[in-house]
Structure 1
């Protein structure tokens, strides 16, 4: 470490250094001097204020220590039953985000009409009045020509207030083209659970009572949706349970687990089928949950099919059909050469998992689901829970209690004829074509296809888009096939980007608007689940906002609504004024600041209103009580609540998925096609009955092996606040918390055997090239990946975002490389998920001279 501080001291040092960092000039230091024992403790002069972190998808409740008007440190909210007062490193990094001198400090306008990475936008400061005037002018131009549908709204992360801006404004105006980020996140994961157990959402996990984990492509100490919860529980987990991690790289979780299964990327399905085969052949399935042969004799014999009539199922559907279609010959010996895991280890893990059942969890994640053929891997890994009866059981994967929430007021009375005509136009992302069933919560043609929007913009199909507003996203950086987004945004006639830092996406904008930091400067709320509790955590301004910034979802939308009203279209402003009264005083909002507070109160009223039914959750005494405590917790999730009806088509846990069968047949029939024809179009190998059961599909790669000999695999950083932390010195200084990584660098981790063959040593600059593009990074000889597979962390490679994130900010020279510039754009097409895992990209590696 450059400053002589260990990783262990990271959190302890935060309190002493955050204030110094906040006052630093343009060049930030990782740490200042630590406090001495003689210096007073921070608690002697400040106040703890509740808020919430959105640094990952856990959305933990936190408390922020404020002293002399500055954020000094953060901790987990002790009122939370989900994280129990514990947090990971990410909330600490938010302090540097807040006081980042490279933050956008006021509205900016483009002066160079040419757009592209190599173009200087020529941004100049403007007022909020000038910025919103320009936005309203463009919106009114489209209304005048009856082209309101050619306005598009894009969002990334958001709060429970998002629909105030993201839904209400465009739909009252006249466009249905409001697209969120969800399918670049993990929708294929939801699909895997939806078509097997009828739960179209992310699962929670009873980690305290689990006795065996199989973690598929997930590193929950560092990423995924349970970071604070798992990090806090992990010591007890390793004492009480066996932890088996299926991951191409030696992750933090794998390094601390009992079994590491370094699977060949994308071949997880072979391993899952082999585990299921062993459980059935050895009679280790859960007979109470699944059922048994009528005479008690196990007829699951390797290589032999079984008469379905001999097996009586209890709470499941199609076990024997699954065996006959897929599992009967899928032995560990068959799987070993395909997935790269020794047969002996497959047997051991299968037996250990089944022996611990039902207190066992097969943890399916985006790592196995977000692949071109990922739906069936998601099904296969999730089906192991059904096989051992752990679904919704003690120590297994569980659903979550519902959270009472306020509703967006009805917008229909505020839509005029122009708006109603606009919202009837087809969705711009072309969902529902034959090659995109776009399934959301079991419904066809209802899923956003986020990463396809770039292709639609480039092709001008189904029509040309003339104006875009976008907030809390950076898809030029965060979407695979990133170069497509550069091309697409360069073509847009008018683009508005609302952002904390001037990001890659901002470089293509005509207007850039500065947002407030969600954790420290704004009102909002977020809802999630951990540790068998659902919760809503409140975000609130804990310090006065820095610079000339506004809250994206409320204050900016109010200003745009006012300008539209000035130009003869008052509908949006009328909606805000008439529908967002303070639920305590009934006062109508007079400003965007009022709208921000009142919307937050409306959306959370069922939680804090003493008269509301809390459904067994926390009893809050009112709004002030909610503000002070910062969180509402549900009751604890009960076990086995859906065993009598899972919500699938059969009501059972479906190994043979009648639910999926109905979806695929309906979609195919709508085009006069068969399911087999559909499977071919969707790039799946399954034909016939295999399309309806969990099964092995060969990993899909892009790039010929002879030219691109290495499989590329990526992972997430423990310090990455969703790709937004690279401009903080703490992120760069402590980058080696991610196994194999180096501080202030971006490395490609290569097995030493491959390094020797290539004549490459640690520290050499290398060009990594795929069919999509090239990046230049440093090589790192590392035993934590298998020969033939190279691994790189996502999060570096910014060519914008700030002076720390980049090597040369003015010249747009990145620090390392962006993975999305070498991972091609492709999809798991049933769910519309963008695919980034499973070794989609093959790459070649060449040693180059240091730039």
Structure 2
């Protein structure tokens, strides 16, 4: 706890030794002490792997010495992250050697479940654990209730379909439930219903000249942090930055303009900026088109004859103006957003003047609101308005990554499985209330956080068994208490995890998982810095404990157990469909299965006989050594001829969304207006098909709960999994306004005086749904009327460092999700957590 920033970099070099109690070699320490520019003697080596501390999935290299991880750096072969990393991978070393990790399989001996109950876990063998799980599965098959099983997936690699899709499908359940809608599906909604890309965007930072950041904090908590950190000096030298955020984030502190918006009012700003760009005649003629007579007929308050405008690569700009934008003046937006009209106008005009080398950078902060889908569309539509979509200096798509798809598993489904597979999903996806319009399809997504309610209410049926891996939804889902109640009710739950998290406390069987970066085989695909890439994970050290790889080794062992009990379809699938691409050999052990699966998925990039563009590798061993395959650079304007939307154009009036909503309405025999009403949107008629402003929906009466609550993410938060490391706690003040080894509610000094609290006071923070206890931090970097808190603290069951008292289940600070209710941006099924979803009050303790 006494480590300083000065010693941090030194410590990262010998972490494995420090954490695991292994004495480092003297020459290594001497070299650091003398600070000489010489290479220390060592018998270690660099081994390629992949970090999964966020969704960037950065290629890295790990320094291994005497079977200990001692250092980590960016992979020098990666064109995406420039061979650099952010702080998160360093924390992974402490996670790896965390003494609180689950080391062997465990069995619950206390049948009663609850936060205050001791599970009374006892260690058991893998054989006993898997035998117990297999018996429960076979019982469901015997009773023709296979659909009453669910696989609950958290983070994953691209081998995920082995456990997430193939396993439940062959067994006979439709219930592969992913974490994805907890994350950012509403953000993807904005890009999909304008340019048909259900994905995160890439950004051309090297060439951009203006960036509007919609709640994004690129140098701290976006999905491309190493790239952003590496490029931000260049960006600041060559571009202007406007940060829209109620909190003075790390990026906002370096911006040219800070717009501390009232949470949830992003849509007002976005539509007003679009109004300014059209009013001032600053749209892209090349991309959007122009009036026939060359004049500008976009006059505030007046409708425009559509026949006067000829569009090039967009659809419905005049309809957008007539339906929404003509009255969305900066003065109108100023009243709602709290941002001065002159600043809104200035940012909009400077953004358009720098086009097309500009970026309107969408993030979950704008989108993950109850009515956030249209805010997401509006923010992304600005890119289309100025022609920066897939253009130099703008927002980019993805390049093709050659990889094998998961083999078909339908032929391995027997009659029982076929019946169970076609039952309703437990998350009620595609119902009238939850359209989940991923890729334009009613029910195309997943409603992750609704599963807790389905279990509690036994709707659409009683769930009897679940296996969860790499997740902790008792902590990470809004309305967290619902998950506690649901897991108390679930008859049998298996948790595959590295640490004894909150979700683990409700498990009947606990299986210890291999740590993702250092102990497992995995393959991942991603993109940024204009390159797509495939990167691998490999076991860089032998595990210290009796752990297995969740997606492959555990599945193989379970398939063997099921085969022993008379159901061998799953084992036959794994054996027959995942042969070694080099030798054709079938796997005969969990270790071989894990290796062959990674070789199978990645084969197209390393097999020299398969034609591809990008890096030309000579074989599997070269991929293993380099750790990453890079695509060719992204080609600008790649989709301009056909965006993949219904009109093939960039859609301001979204025919793609119109079709999706109409099909969902037809499916339930209602009107689109009824769909909008049920999903809590205010738009009616054609307004539902264009990006538009929606008044933010907030929970809590303003008189009783006068403060708007807002949250953010930490640059040290490894997908919510680093709180049990000392470095996370010691350097927590790296997040602006936060304090080390503490959890603070940041409020403006004006509000502190108003509510009679001061810096360091302990307060009870309450919403209409729950309360937590934290300390007050007076900080000018918060908009008055709002309170801001970082997500990540408040663990009551993660380990001795994450908690104040692990044995007594006393949390360090509070979990934001105990304040938030469970609600959704229902068109995408995204969990709502931003946009001032929750109102709070504070009381001095």
Same fold judged by TM-score > 0.5?
A: yes
- Alignment partner of 2:675 out of 654, 657, 678: 678
Q: Distance between the aligned counterparts of 1:91 and 1:160, measured in 2? A: 20
Counterpart residue number, 1:660: 657
In the TM superposition, what is the alpha-carbon distance from 1:43 to its structure 2 partner?
Answer: 6.1
In the TM superposition, what is the alpha-carbon distance from 1:3 to its structure 2 partner?
Answer: 3.1
Q: Distance between the aligned counterparts of 2:30 and 2:760, measured in 1? A: 30
Counterpart residue number, 1:275: 273
SS in 2 for 1:154: strand
Counterpart residue number, 1:186: 184
Q: Distance between the aligned counterparts of 1:34 and 1:301, measured in 2? A: 69
Counterpart residue number, 1:740: 737
Counterpart residue number, 1:3: 2
TM-score computed with the length of structure 1 as normaliser: 0.97
**Which 4+ runs in 1 deviate beyond 3 A?**
8-13, 32-35, 38-44
SS in 2 for 1:121: coil
Cα deviations across residues 330-386 of structure 1 (Å, max 9, x unaligned)? Answer: 111111120011111111101110010000010111111111001100000000001
SS in 1 for 2:381: helix
SS in 2 for 1:490: helix
In the TM superposition, what is the alpha-carbon distance from 1:139 to its structure 2 partner?
Answer: 0.5
Q: Distance between the aligned counterparts of 1:45 and 1:387, measured in 2? A: 57
Counterpart residue number, 1:839: 836
Kindly indicate whether residue 788 of structure 2 is the aligned counterpart of residue 791 of structure 1: yes
Counterpart residue number, 1:695: 692
- Alignment partner of 2:572 out of 570, 574, 577: 574
In the TM superposition, what is the alpha-carbon distance from 1:22 to its structure 2 partner?
Answer: 2.4
- Alignment partner of 2:45 out of 38, 44, 47: 47
Kindly indicate whether residue 738 of structure 2 is the aligned counterpart of residue 753 of structure 1: no
Cα deviations across residues 271-301 of structure 1 (Å, max 9, x unaligned)? Answer: 0111111111111111111111111111111
Matches within 5 A, 1:476-555: 476-555=474-553
Q: Distance between the aligned counterparts of 1:245 and 1:676, measured in 2? A: 35
Counterpart residue number, 2:726: 729
Q: Distance between the aligned counterparts of 2:458 and 2:686, measured in 1? A: 38
Counterpart residue number, 2:26: none
Counterpart residue number, 1:285: 283
In the TM superposition, what is the alpha-carbon distance from 1:572 to its structure 2 partner?
Answer: 1.1
Counterpart residue number, 1:818: 815
Q: Distance between the aligned counterparts of 2:816 and 2:30, measured in 1? A: 35
- Farther off after superposition, 375-384 or 199-208: 199-208
Kindly indicate whether residue 776 of structure 2 is the aligned counterpart of residue 779 of structure 1: yes
Q: Distance between the aligned counterparts of 1:641 and 1:326, measured in 2? A: 30
Q: Distance between the aligned counterparts of 2:189 and 2:47, measured in 1? A: 38
Q: Distance between the aligned counterparts of 2:530 and 2:196, measured in 1? A: 18
Counterpart residue number, 2:442: 444
- CA 1:421–1:329 in 2, change beyond 3 Å: closer, same or farther? same
Matches within 5 A, 1:407-418: 407-418=405-416
Q: Distance between the aligned counterparts of 2:426 and 2:491, measured in 1? A: 16
Q: Distance between the aligned counterparts of 2:41 and 2:569, measured in 1? A: 49
- Alignment partner of 1:384 out of 378, 382, 395: 382
SS in 2 for 1:438: coil
Matches within 5 A, 1:411-426: 411-426=409-424
Counterpart residue number, 1:328: 326
- Alignment partner of 2:315 out of 314, 317, 322: 317
Q: Is contact 2:16–2:22 with CA below 8 Å preserved after alignment?
A: no
In the TM superposition, what is the alpha-carbon distance from 1:35 to its structure 2 partner?
Answer: 3.6
- CA 1:651–1:59 in 2, change beyond 3 Å: closer, same or farther? same
Q: Distance between the aligned counterparts of 1:272 and 1:291, measured in 2? A: 21
SS in 2 for 1:704: coil
In the TM superposition, what is the alpha-carbon distance from 1:324 to its structure 2 partner?
Answer: 0.8
Counterpart residue number, 2:704: 707
Counterpart residue number, 1:644: 641
Q: Is contact 1:765–1:776 with CA below 8 Å preserved after alignment?
A: yes
Matches within 5 A, 1:116-195: 116-195=114-193
TM-score computed with the length of structure 2 as normaliser: 0.98
Q: Distance between the aligned counterparts of 1:52 and 1:4, measured in 2? A: 27
- Alignment partner of 1:210 out of 208, 214, 219: 208
Q: Is contact 2:15–2:69 with CA below 8 Å preserved after alignment?
A: no
SS in 1 for 2:709: strand
Q: Distance between the aligned counterparts of 1:51 and 1:732, measured in 2? A: 26
Counterpart residue number, 2:803: 806
Q: Is contact 2:15–2:71 with CA below 8 Å preserved after alignment?
A: no
- CA 1:591–1:239 in 2, change beyond 3 Å: closer, same or farther? same
In the TM superposition, what is the alpha-carbon distance from 1:670 to its structure 2 partner?
Answer: 2.2
SS in 2 for 1:604: helix
Counterpart residue number, 2:264: 266
Q: Is contact 1:17–1:33 with CA below 8 Å preserved after alignment?
A: no
Q: Distance between the aligned counterparts of 1:234 and 1:178, measured in 2? A: 39
- Alignment partner of 1:613 out of 611, 627, 643: 611
Q: Distance between the aligned counterparts of 2:637 and 2:119, measured in 1? A: 57
SS in 2 for 1:406: coil
Cα deviations across residues 19-75 of structure 1 (Å, max 9, x unaligned)? Answer: 2122189xxxxxx99940179855633100000000011100000001111100100
- CA 1:771–1:42 in 2, change beyond 3 Å: closer, same or farther? farther
In the TM superposition, what is the alpha-carbon distance from 1:172 to its structure 2 partner?
Answer: 1.2
Kindly indicate whether residue 469 of structure 2 is the aligned counterpart of residue 471 of structure 1: yes
Counterpart residue number, 1:29: none
- Alignment partner of 2:587 out of 572, 586, 589: 589
SS in 1 for 2:552: helix
Q: Distance between the aligned counterparts of 1:132 and 1:790, measured in 2? A: 47
- CA 1:362–1:33 in 2, change beyond 3 Å: closer, same or farther? farther
In the TM superposition, what is the alpha-carbon distance from 1:584 to its structure 2 partner?
Answer: 0.8
- CA 1:38–1:228 in 2, change beyond 3 Å: closer, same or farther? closer
- Farther off after superposition, 679-688 or 55-64: 679-688
Q: Is contact 1:11–1:89 with CA below 8 Å preserved after alignment?
A: no
- Farther off after superposition, 37-46 or 368-377: 37-46
Q: Is contact 1:16–1:34 with CA below 8 Å preserved after alignment?
A: no
- Alignment partner of 2:401 out of 395, 403, 425: 403
Cα deviations across residues 281-328 of structure 1 (Å, max 9, x unaligned)? Answer: 111111111111111111111121111111111111111111111111
Cα deviations across residues 90-140 of structure 1 (Å, max 9, x unaligned)? Answer: 000000000000000000000000000000000000000000010000001
Q: Distance between the aligned counterparts of 2:670 and 2:31, measured in 1? A: 68
Kindly indicate whether residue 628 of structure 2 is the aligned counterpart of residue 631 of structure 1: yes
SS in 1 for 2:438: coil
Q: Distance between the aligned counterparts of 2:122 and 2:808, measured in 1? A: 18
> What's the Cα RMSD here?
1.4
Q: Distance between the aligned counterparts of 2:527 and 2:582, measured in 1? A: 28
Counterpart residue number, 1:60: 58
Q: Is contact 1:82–1:530 with CA below 8 Å preserved after alignment?
A: yes
Cα deviations across residues 742-791 of structure 1 (Å, max 9, x unaligned)? Answer: 00000000100010111211111111111121010111000111111000
- CA 1:761–1:42 in 2, change beyond 3 Å: closer, same or farther? farther
Q: Distance between the aligned counterparts of 2:276 and 2:405, measured in 1? A: 49
SS in 2 for 1:441: helix
Q: Is contact 1:401–1:533 with CA below 8 Å preserved after alignment?
A: yes
**Structure 2 portions without partners, runs of 5+:** 24-28
Matches within 5 A, 1:8-47: 10-23=8-21, 35-37=32-34, 41=39, 44-47=42-45
Counterpart residue number, 1:73: 71
- Farther off after superposition, 828-837 or 661-670: 661-670
In the TM superposition, what is the alpha-carbon distance from 1:672 to its structure 2 partner?
Answer: 2.3
Q: Distance between the aligned counterparts of 1:169 and 1:309, measured in 2? A: 55
In the TM superposition, what is the alpha-carbon distance from 1:707 to its structure 2 partner?
Answer: 0.4
- Alignment partner of 1:97 out of 95, 98, 102: 95
Q: Distance between the aligned counterparts of 2:275 and 2:293, measured in 1? A: 21
Q: Distance between the aligned counterparts of 1:35 and 1:746, measured in 2? A: 34
Q: Distance between the aligned counterparts of 1:126 and 1:16, measured in 2? A: 34
In the TM superposition, what is the alpha-carbon distance from 1:581 to its structure 2 partner?
Answer: 1.4
